[in-house]
Structures are given as structure tokens and as C-alpha cells.
Chain A
């Protein structure tokens, strides 16, 4: 288990505020956050590159004061940070002098598994983004780390190759028995790769848990906004007795003008806008003074009837709704 307890530090414009985190061994943990939220700083802190408050332990042993060279972490930066003065082989074998032979991973196995055979004698200046990424991964894995830290490893990769590389990444923890912490701003990456996920906003880890739980049950309004929930609505829309409180509503789980059989909630509103996508409509329905965004497939409504000015009935199941504590207000939450 890798455990971070109340990690705090400030570095220029970036800060970490009381970050606590527990990652079981050989888990693939993805930290989702916007650019500038402190994700890279957190990875560098785990690697031992910054002084901080709080404590870090691994396998029950405190490693807070252990220097990076003795932590057994592997680091892959967003721009890969390959050594410009060394060849591909030189880069991968950089750790030869510092890691005992027995601790290193078998060379051929590594080269085969990341398909590096053709690249070994190449000059790193002439590698593509995907090739650089494989070299950076190989360099980190070759030193046989216990923890592998990946900083936006897919952002410099051509979209066409991403799927294949994600397969590679997903396989890492099994093949090389390593705990992976991967930071990104991309939800698809997170959903595909992660065993568990954490949301980082403004230097704070605001929510962590299983992937589906975090993505579909945001714990607060800022998280819901970050995850792209467009409907943050007052609770009175579905509960006339509620004096305060808000809920997030998944726009894709709302049905229009169908008998609300099996749905837990329903309400009426007036359609104000209808925008057409390739195979979907997006409606903005005003319900009790609040705009509700609804995303529907083209087959699911009658376009003649459902248009601006029409009164429609919206219905949705309990699973589409996430309630927030009454104290939270969307006005205070940063967008």
C-alpha cells in the first residue's frame, strides 16, 4: 500500500493542500484534474523531489525523507524527458550503474513487450511521440520500480495510436508487478485504465474511489462541474418540500414525453432551445425557472412536436441523480 497523509507544499503558482491518498499495491490509480491543479507536483512529491509537510509511506515503511534515488519509483513525464545526449539504448540502460543486476528487469523481455527492437540504435531526436513514450516507459520499468508515476503520458500521442498504447499501459501492472499512478485530464483515459480514480481540484484531492462510483456519483458540486455535469439544479424541482440543496442530473438519462413508467422522478417544462447533433438532439427545457439540458437520440422524440415553445414532460430514474448536502451552492462553486 502506498499511503500519503496530509501532504502539503507550495511551489510557485502551484500548491498541494492536505492531500491524503491510499493506493493498494499493483493498483492502477488515475488522478483526474485540470491543467494547473497540481497533479505533476503531486507525482514529483511522491517521487521525493520536493520537501513537503505530511507523510508518505510504502509497504508500511515511512519514506518521507528517503531521497528519490532510493525510493524505487519510475517517472514518465508528459514530454518524456529523454536524455538528449544518449541513444535509445543509453536512455533505457541509464539505471545500469545504480540498480543491481538481480533487481533489473530482463532486457529482452522488456524490448519485446514494448516492441522496441527497431528503435534501439536510433537517435532520440528522430523518434515519434509514441516511440518516445515507449522508450520513456522502458527506461522507467527497466530500473524495476515498485511505483510507476505517469504524468499525462498520452497527451503527446497521435490520437490514432492512443488505443494501442492504452492497452500497453493497462497491461503494465500485471506484466511488471508495479503500482501505477497516472495523472490526466482525460476522462476516457481514466475510465479505461483505472482501478480507482481520484479527482484533483486546486491542489486538493477532493474525491477518490472506484471508477464508476466517482464518475457517476460526484461528491460535490465542483466535482460534478469538473466531470461535465451540466445540470446542477435546485432540489425543489423534484421535491417540493425541500427548502435548500442541489442535485446533479445526468443529461443523457432524461426521457421526454414518455410515460414515466419505472422512472422515479418527473416534471414539466417548456422547451426553449433544440440543437441538432449528428445523431442526437440537445434540448434546453425551462422547468420552474431553471434551464435543464437534455441529451436524446434522434429516434427518441418526435421533432415536429418537441421544439421551442412546446411543453414537455421530463422523467428520469434515481440513478441519474446525485444529491449534494444543503450547504453546497452552485454559485459558490468554481466552474
Chain B
């Protein structure tokens, strides 16, 4: 009975793991080393990959500055409307991405918001700023929710003790809360950043150009077919996966 249980679970687990691994292996196998190597030297592909990674990183940093205080407030306080605020944060995850793109375009490219952006010299359509807004909107929940869990795991007594030792609220946050929630925050950043790399639906509506990697893959697939789009996909996966694994490894190396 025990063997049957173990065998069933192992088999089912192996199936789902294979399901995840096969497309990746298939992609790299199908593309081949020589096409992959050529793709790595293609300035359009590398420019697009770099742009994607850079813009997603900037968006992650912006959400870090505003999302951490929000995550902390939610983790530490009970207030009226808290569950409403929490649902609000999760809304982008539930939206169809193209619909989100339309919503962003309507909200930020018209009326008051458009005036504000214009006065700041920011344009949304077909710019890096527009791409960043799309990425931020759809992937911010990953960072905020990750940080919220991290803050919840920090014992409030640590903060109390730190205050009696002379540290003010900001010092306690930076010297006690952040270091102890670091792992979840960095993982949340990583999730947000990776999610931003893959953002297509909303980005394509706001900014077809400059082309982020998912748009470039789509563009090449549409115009030239699989042979020209697969190497871009392989490069994008190789670069983002190695960055993801490296950061995760460094972050999880020590317990705290």
C-alpha cells in the first residue's frame, strides 16, 4: 500500500515536471547551437532582450519603493477596508492582459493623467515609459504579496525591542524588518521582474515599438515563421532563466 502511494505520487510528479521541461529542451534542441550562437550576436535580438530586462528591472525598482510600505502596512495593521485593499492589489493578476493594456491606454493617454504626464515630459505610446507602466501594472502583485508574506514572518516583538534600544521607526524598518524579510522581498522582486519579461498582451497595445523580446518573437513569428522566431525565444529564455537562477541561488544561500 505504502509502495503504491509513493509510486503513484512520484509518477504524477514526474509527469508535471516533464511537462515543464520538455518545451524548454525541445526549444533549445530544435534551434541548435549554431542558430543560438548567431542569435546571441544579432544586435536586434540582444538589444530587445536587454531592453526587456532593463525596463522590467526599472519597473520592479519603482514598485519596490511604493509597494514595500504598502505591503508593510497590510502585514502589520488591521484596518477597515483591508481586505478590499488586498483584493485591489490582486486585480491585475485576474485581468486579461490585452484588456489591461486598453485600460492603461485609456487612463494614462487621455484627460488629466495625460496632461500630468505631458507636463512631466513623459509619453506613453511607443515608449519605454509605456512599456514599463504595462509591466508594472500587471506584475506588481507578485512583489507586493511576496513582501507582505515576508513582513508577516517578522516577529513584531523584534521591532518592539529595537525601539526600546533607541531605534526610531525608520531605523527599525531598515535595520530589523527589511533584513529579516529580505528573502521573501528579493523572491518577490524576482517574480515581478520575470513576470515583466514575459509581458506581451498589454505591452503590445501600448508600445509595439521599441520591441521588447515577447513582441519581437511575435513579430518574427508572424512575418518570417518559426525558424526566425525560435532563436529569439531561446535567447530570451536562456538569459532570463540564468539571471533568475543566479539571483535565487544567491538569495537563498544563507538562511536569513
Contact = CB atoms under 8 A, between A and B. Distances in A.
Nearest to B157: A81
A95 B157 contact: no
A143 interface: yes
Contact of A84 (B163, B168, B256): B256
29 contacts: A44-B160, A47-B163, A49-B163, A67-B163, A68-B163, A68-B164, A69-B164, A69-B168, A74-B165, A75-B161, A77-B161, A81-B155, A83-B162, A83-B176, A83-B180, A85-B180, A94-B167, A95-B165, A97-B166, A97-B167, A98-B167, A98-B171, A99-B166, A125-B255, A139-B161, A143-B164, A143-B166, A145-B164, A149-B164
B256 A85 contact: yes
Interface string B150-185: 000001011011111111100100011001100000
A140 interface: yes
Given A81-B155, A85-B256, A69 B163 contact: yes
Given A81-B161, A85-B180, A94-B162, 9 more contacts: A70-B166, A74-B165, A75-B161, A77-B160, A79-B157, A83-B176, A84-B180, A95-B166, A125-B255
B108 to A, nearest CB: 40
A171 to B, nearest CB: 22
B167 A81 contact: no
Q: Looking at chain B's contact residues, is the secondary structure mostly helix, strand, loop, or mixed?
A: helix
A85 B178 CA distance: 10
Contacts of B157: 77, 79, 81
A75 B175 CA distance: 18
B152 to A, nearest CB: 15
A85 B171 CA distance: 15
Nearest to B163: A68
Nearest to A70: B166
A75 B161 CA distance: 6
Please indicate which of the listed interface residues B164, B176, B180 has the most CB atoms of chain A within 10 Å of its own CB: B164
Contact of B160 (A49, A79, A85, A143): A49
Given A47-B160, A68-B160, A75-B160, A85 B179 contact: yes
A139 B179 CA distance: 19
A79 B166 CA distance: 20
Closest 9 A/B residue pairs (Cβ): A98-B166, A68-B163, A81-B157, A95-B165, A85-B179, A85-B256, A75-B164, A81-B161, A95-B166
A71 interface: yes
Contacts, number: 72
Interface in A9-48: 44, 47-48
A75 B160 CA distance: 8
A81 B164 contact: no
Interface of B: 155, 157-158, 160-168, 171, 175-176, 179-180, 255-256
Please indicate which of the listed interface residues B158, B163, B175, B255 has the most CB atoms of chain A within 10 Å of its own CB: B163
Contacts of A84: 158, 180, 256
Nearest to B256: A85
Contacts of A69: 163-168
A79 B157 CA distance: 9
A73 interface: yes
A81 B180 CA distance: 13
Given A84-B180, A84-B256, A85-B179, A98 B158 contact: no
B164 A140 contact: yes
A65 to B, nearest CB: 15
A125 B167 CA distance: 23
B160 A81 contact: yes
B165 A139 contact: yes
A132 to B, nearest CB: 13
Contacts of B167: 69, 94-95, 97-98
B164 A74 contact: yes
A329 B176 CA distance: 51
A44 B161 CA distance: 10
Contacts of B162: 83, 94
Interface string A123-140: 001000000000000011
Contacts of A145: 164
B173 to A, nearest CB: 13
A143 B161 CA distance: 11
A224 to B, nearest CB: 34
B65 to A, nearest CB: 22
A293 B167 CA distance: 54
B165 A94 contact: yes
Please indicate which of the listed interface residues B166, B167, B171, B176 has the most CB atoms of chain A within 10 Å of its own CB: B166
Nearest to B78: A12
B238 to A, nearest CB: 34
